[in-house]
């Protein structure tokens, strides 16, 4: 096969587009809302007309095609920076690694800025040719791509983080490859002009398959979602637990699939609300932010209507009413008990326990037993019989919780017995040696090595987290 004459190409405005190859790096900082939200990414190619950058998928929810960016700052390894305004021309998922590729056009540049940019493009072209072996020149490398002390420190930290994230323990290697987190959630919903019901139901079917195939393995795998956006993690965990409970009631109920689809869709109106008034879903929510966020149900309903997609009655019931409460204190319509379906009432119990047991808006997560007590003390809001059913299903020591044992050991609960007591754990830390990690799987007959079970604890209090495969 003949090799190409050049590694470079031209964009649709006729300008040379230089790919950043073989370790070439430059950072980009996108000012999305003036003085409100900045997104960091990496440059993937550069021309005098614009650039291609990749950003975290989670951050891309604030971006849309044709959006004007008040500031686009390119920062090269040697510390030199270039700033201009930009317009987003296109967006797409970047591989399957939680990133999005964003094409940006530079706009409103002065003659001086244009001249400077020509220089940077020429330097990038030379560096790419030198590294790829198509340029044999006695000239030294471009100074732009020689990292200064600050950049070297940032690169070392990134390399360390990458190393940690790729160190698979035996248990993390057994994480189901078709985890419900695996489908690209942006493919399901981020494209604001298309809606793929096929992808939505593939996600729902994946959950249903895993519940029927190995419910405990799924329950343990759900713990790995801690790095996902909060609204994505919440939707997948709640949808999966809803599936577990509905299938345990009736394995063949035809409405289960639609209920799970509704649970997955329910929170997806939240990214539609991103604006200067609500610049991010990761910020600490003020009362005004919280009021804006309550509109997510209406925002989702309007978007689905605009896209001419009508959910089934069961799916729609979950989307519209999952935040309603028995006493009418919920939103968006304040519907009361007699008007709420059995599935919605069950969903509300699952949702509130999930919220209470995860860090949310700066609030410390509660342990399962404390969350159960909190819900139990509010019978006017949540149905007690459904709380009892939930506890019977997931127990006082749910799979995926971090347990503390009397000899000072911390361990992830991997499996529980018929009485809901841990029978298999992954020991990850001895508190006598806080800077040392462990990876030892023990079964109940060996628990005497780590002492008696004292209860569950918050992983962040001990700087413990699941390694993500």
- What string of DSSP letters covers 210-279? HHHHHHHHHHHHGGGGGGS-HHHHHHHHHHHHHHHHHHHH-TT-THHHHHHHHHHHGGGGGGGG-SSSS-
- Structure tokens given for 15: 């300008």
Q: Is residue 167 included in any domain, yes or no? A: no
Q: Which residues contact 249 (CB under 8 A, 6 or more apart)?
A: none
- Based on the fold, state whether residues 327 and 441 are members of the same structural domain: no
pLDDT, tens digit, for every residue of 166-208?
544 433 344 444 444 433 444 434 444 567 788 889 999 999 9
From 394, 419, 438, give the residue that closes a domain. Answer: 394
Q: Is residue 103 included in any domain, yes or no? A: yes
From 157, 184, 212, give the residue that closes a domain. Answer: 157
pLDDT, tens digit, for every residue of 111-148?
999 999 999 999 999 999 888 877 666 567 889 999 99
CATH of the domain at 255: 1.10.3210.10
- Based on the fold, state whether residues 388 and 299 are members of the same structural domain: yes
Q: Which of 182-196, 321-335, 355-369, 430-444 has the lowest mean pLDDT?
A: 182-196
pLDDT, tens digit, for every residue of 382-420?
999 999 999 999 999 999 999 999 999 999 999 999 999
- Based on the fold, state whether residues 239 and 374 are members of the same structural domain: yes
**Phi, psi torsion values for 441, nearest 5 degrees:** -90, 125
- Based on the fold, state whether residues 378 and 230 are members of the same structural domain: yes
Domain count, the chain: 3
195: left (phi over 0), alpha (psi -120 to 50) or beta: beta
- Based on the fold, state whether residues 145 and 193 are members of the same structural domain: no
Mean pLDDT across 195-223: 92
- Based on the fold, state whether residues 303 and 435 are members of the same structural domain: no
From 122, 157, 192, give the residue that closes a domain. Answer: 157
- Based on the fold, state whether residues 363 and 413 are members of the same structural domain: no
Output the average pLDDT for the chain. Answer: 87
Q: Is residue 423 included in any domain, yes or no? A: yes
Q: Is residue 84 included in any domain, yes or no? A: yes
Mean pLDDT across 352-359: 96
- Based on the fold, state whether residues 270 and 313 are members of the same structural domain: yes
- Based on the fold, state whether residues 227 and 256 are members of the same structural domain: yes
CATH of the domain at 124: 2.40.10.220
The pLDDT, as a whole number, for residue 15 is 64
Q: Is residue 166 included in any domain, yes or no? A: no
**Phi, psi torsion values for 394, nearest 5 degrees:** -110, -15
Q: Is residue 169 included in any domain, yes or no? A: no
Q: Which of 25-29, 131-135, 156-160, 206-210 has the lowest mean pLDDT?
A: 131-135
pLDDT, tens digit, for every residue of 445-460?
999 999 999 999 999 8
DSSP helix/strand/coil, 117 = helix
- Based on the fold, state whether residues 223 and 362 are members of the same structural domain: yes
The pLDDT, as a whole number, for residue 3 is 46
Please indicate, yes or no, whether the overall pTM of this predicted structure exceeds 0.85: no
The pLDDT, as a whole number, for residue 137 is 62
- Structure tokens given for 138: 């006695």
- Based on the fold, state whether residues 139 and 217 are members of the same structural domain: no
Burial track 140-164 (b if 16+ CB lie within 10 A, e otherwise): eebebbeeeeebeeeeeeeeeeeee
283: domain range?
175-394
- Based on the fold, state whether residues 98 and 243 are members of the same structural domain: no
């Amino acid at each position: 096969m003949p090799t190409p004459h050049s590694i470079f190409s031209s964009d649709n405005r006729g300008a040379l587009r230089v790919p950043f190859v073989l370790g070439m790096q430059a950072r980009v900082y996108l000012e999305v809302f003036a003085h409100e939200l900045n997104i960091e990414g990496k440059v993937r190619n550069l021309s005098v007309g614009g650039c291609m950058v990749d950003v975290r998928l989670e951050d891309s929810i604030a971006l849309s095609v044709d959006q004007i960016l008040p500031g686009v700052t390119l920062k090269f390894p040697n510390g030199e920076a270039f700033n201009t305004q930009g317009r987003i021309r296109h967006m797409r998922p970047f591989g399957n690694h939680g990133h999005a590729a964003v094409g940006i056009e530079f706009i409103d540049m002065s003659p001086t800025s244009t001249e400077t940019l020509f220089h940077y493009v020429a330097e990038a072209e030379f560096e790419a040719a030198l590294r790829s072996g198509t340029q044999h020149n006695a000239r030294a490398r471009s100074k732009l791509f020689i990292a200064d002390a600050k950049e070297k420190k940032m690169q070392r930290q990134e390399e360390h983080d990458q190393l940690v994230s790729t160190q698979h323990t035996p248990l993390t290697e057994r994480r189901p490859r078709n985890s419900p987190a695996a489908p690209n959630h942006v493919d399901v919903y981020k494209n604001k002009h298309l809606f793929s019901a096929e992808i939505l139901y593939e996600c729902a079917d994946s959950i249903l398959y895993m519940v029927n195939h190995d419910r405990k393995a799924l329950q343990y795998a759900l713990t790995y979602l801690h790095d996902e956006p909060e609204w994505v993690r919440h939707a997948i965990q709640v949808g999966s637990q809803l599936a577990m409970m509905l299938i345990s009631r009736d394995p063949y109920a035809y409405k289960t699939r639609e209920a799970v689809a509704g649970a997955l869709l329910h929170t997806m109106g939240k990214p539609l609300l991103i604006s200067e008034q609500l610049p991010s879903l990761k910020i600490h929510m003020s009362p005004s932010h919280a009021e804006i966020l309550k509109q997510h149900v209406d925002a989702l309903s309007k978007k689905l209507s605009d896209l001419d997609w009508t959910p089934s009655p069961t799916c729609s019931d979950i989307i519209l009413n999952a935040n309603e409460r028995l006493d009418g204190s919920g939103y968006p319509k304040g519907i009361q008990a007699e008007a709420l379906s059995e599935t919605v009432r069950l969903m509300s119990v699952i949702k509130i326990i999930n919220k209470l047991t995860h860090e949310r808006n700066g609030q410390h997560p509660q342990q399962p037993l404390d969350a159960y007590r909190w819900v139990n003390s509010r019978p006017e809001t949540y149905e007690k019989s459904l709380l009892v059913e939930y506890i019977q299903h997931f127990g006082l020591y749910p799979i995926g919780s971090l347990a503390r044992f009397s000899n000072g050991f911390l361990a992830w609960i991997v499996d529980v017995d018929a009485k809901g007591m841990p029978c298999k754990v992954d020991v990850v830390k001895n508190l006598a040696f806080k800077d040392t990690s462990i990876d030892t799987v023990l079964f109940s007959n060996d628990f005497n090595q780590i002492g008696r079970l004292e209860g569950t604890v918050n992983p962040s209090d001990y700087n413990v987290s699941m390694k993500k495969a």
